[in-house]
Structure 1
Amino acid sequence: MLFRWLSQWRKPQSLGARGEAAAARFLRRLGYKIIARSDRSKLGEIDIVAVDGRTVVFVEVKTRTTSDSAHPADAVDAVKQAKLTRLGLSYLRRHNLLECKARFDVVAITWPDDQRQPTIDHIQNAFEPTGDYQMFS
């Protein structure tokens, strides 16, 4: 009874928050260890930081209710890639992980309003580091 009452007052999660939670569950099932979610710095935010084997993985999550116009991963354009590259390098510096291998993945989620479960497309090594930060390995 109390749980039902509390759930009526709970603010519903945004589509983006639901997508990030679904992406984290998906990656855990693949064996990734989630290190951070919504990691913020003065440069911006990394959706998910994970470890896959011995590789640090920076994951950008894109969630849409429909794929009519374009695939959600198409939103990770050159400008976004450059920003994610800067964020990834900053994260590695802050945590003294510059010697670690790293990569960028994109998890594209399509979650129509009338479905309980989303369609998840995981793109490993979605792009190479860009800009002045190509020394990334």
Structure 2
Amino acid sequence: MTTDRQRLGTYGEHLAAQHLVRAGMVVLDRNWRGAGGELDLVLRDGRTLVICEVKTRSSTAFGSPLEGVTATKAARLRRLAGQWMAAHDLRVPDVRIDLVGVLRTAAGPEIEHVVGVC
């Protein structure tokens, strides 16, 4: 059974993927699971592999969506990026971690993309 939280997360990931594709990126993978976690989106931006964490919220009562990414989470994303590349036998010149925050409002979604957070 899908929870409201899962539906909100899926909604945000869909909007984030659309936003990033419009910005010229190519989606390589979604919701990839490795040892110790999941990558929301894996994309290619030119020759750069982009690991994108998507945070979606329906209000700012607990802070902005991007405040949900801690140093611990960033380190986990870096480890998972290595696992993803090994699983796909891929070597790239550059790997970048991006964040996309999606805030669902009555006026429509607000999307914020932060490039290269770590």
Equivalent position of 2:82 in the other structure: 89
Q: Structure 2: how far apart are the matches of 1:100 and 1:45?
A: 23
Equivalent residue number for residue 126 of structure 1: 117
Check conservation: 2:49, 2:92, Cα contact below 8 A. no
TM-score by length of 2: 0.89
Q: What stretches of structure 1 of length at least 5 have no aligned partner?
A: 1-10, 128-137
Looking at structure 1, the residues matched to 16 and 61 of structure 2 have their Cα atoms a distance apart, in angstroms, of 21
In the other structure, the counterpart of 2:66 is 73
Residue of structure 1 aligned with 2:26, choices 30, 33, 40: 33
The CA distance in 1 between the partners of 2:115 and 2:61, in whole Å, is: 23
Corresponding residue SS for 1:91: helix
More strand by share: 2
Aligned-partner residue type, residue 73 of structure 2: K
Structure with more contact order per residue of length (Cα contacts < 8 Å, sep ≥ 6): 2
Q: Greater Rg, structure 1 or structure 2?
A: 1
Alignment of 1:91-130 (within 5 A): 91-112=84-105, 114-115=106-107, 117-127=108-118
User: What code does the residue aligned with 2:94 have?
Assistant: K
Gaps of 5+ in 2: none
1:126 is paired with a residue whose SS is coil
Partner of residue 17 from structure 2, selected from 18, 24, 30 = 24
